[in-house]
């Protein structure tokens, strides 16, 4: 089990770090769009679509990394006063409810990806009109990784519970 957790967390960390690099082209595209629009009065046809695709990709691919770093939003005002074992039970309940939902969502996203690919769907969001399947691959990868990280958290939390919540 330790090897499984290590591998999941290594992949999660790697994808999270790679996702952070999506900010560089996002900032560059946004700055170029502002310059083009307001300085040379020639807005681009691509910056809007690139912007929302990179923002969405960054957000989605960072979900599992955020979970691994224990940085998801939680109501600490209550849980901070609980014993470690009680917090472990709450976390375990949350993870075991969320994991099947993420697995179902991952399967549905795979079907959504295949539908978009087979139909050659395009975004229709700008004149650029990109195909949607690459972004749907990001969705699928992000939610698959999120489900795997939840699995790792279930194992770690169950261990913590067994050890007395330490």
Chain segment 150-164, per-residue pLDDT in tens:
999 999 999 887 876
Structural domain contains residue 103: yes
Give Rg (Cα) of the chain. 20
Region 58-78: mean pLDDT is 87
Measured between its terminal Cα atoms, the distance across the chain in Å is 19
User: Does residue 78 lie in a domain region?
Assistant: no
Tokens coding 117: 């690919």
User: How many Å apart are CA 152 and CA 129, to the nearest integer?
Assistant: 38
The number of folded domains in the chain is 1
Q: Are 33 and 47 in contact (CB under 8 A)?
A: yes
Query: Per the confidence metrics, is the pTM higher than 0.85?
Result: yes
Please calculate the CA angle 72-74-77 and round it to the nearest 5 degrees: 145
- Residue 106: inside a domain, yes or no? yes
Residue the block writes with tokens 């991952």? 106
Is 76 inside any structural domain? no
Tokens read off for 15: 């994808």
pLDDT at 164: 67
Domain assignment present for 18: yes
Task: Please indicate, yes or no, if residue 121 is contained in any of the structural domains.
Answer: yes
Is position 77 within any domain? no
Euclidean distance between CA atoms 65 and 15, whole angstroms: 8
Q: Does residue 66 fall inside a structural domain?
A: yes
Q: Which structural domain, as residue segments, surrounds residue 107?
A: 2-71+83-162
> What would the pLDDT profile of 100-146 be if each residue is shown by its tens digit?
999 999 999 999 999 999 999 998 877 788 899 999 999 999 999 99
Q: Is the dihedral of CA 139, 157, 3, 22 positive or negative?
A: positive
Residue 81's pLDDT band, with cuts at 50, 70 and 90, is confident
């Amino acid at each position: 089990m330790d090897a499984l957790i290590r591998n999941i967390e290594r992949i999660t960390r790697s994808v999270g770090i790679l996702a952070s690099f999506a900010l560089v082209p996002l900032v560059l595209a946004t700055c170029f769009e502002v310059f083009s629009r307001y300085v040379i009065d020639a807005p681009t046809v691509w910056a809007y679509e690139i912007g929302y695709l990179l923002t969405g990709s960054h957000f989605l691919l960072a979900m599992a990394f955020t979970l691994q770093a224990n940085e998801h939003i939680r109501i600490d005002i209550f849980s901070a006063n609980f014993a470690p074992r009680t917090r472990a039970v709450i976390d375990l309940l949350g993870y075991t409810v969320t994991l099947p939902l993420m697995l179902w969502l991952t399967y549905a996203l795979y079907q959504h990806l295949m539908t978009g690919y087979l139909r050659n769907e395009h975004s229709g969001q700008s004149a650029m009109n990109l195909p949607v399947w690459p972004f749907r691959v990001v969705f699928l990868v992000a939610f698959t990784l999120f489900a795997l990280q939840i699995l790792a958290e279930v194992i770690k939390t169950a261990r913590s519970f067994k050890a007395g919540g330490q």
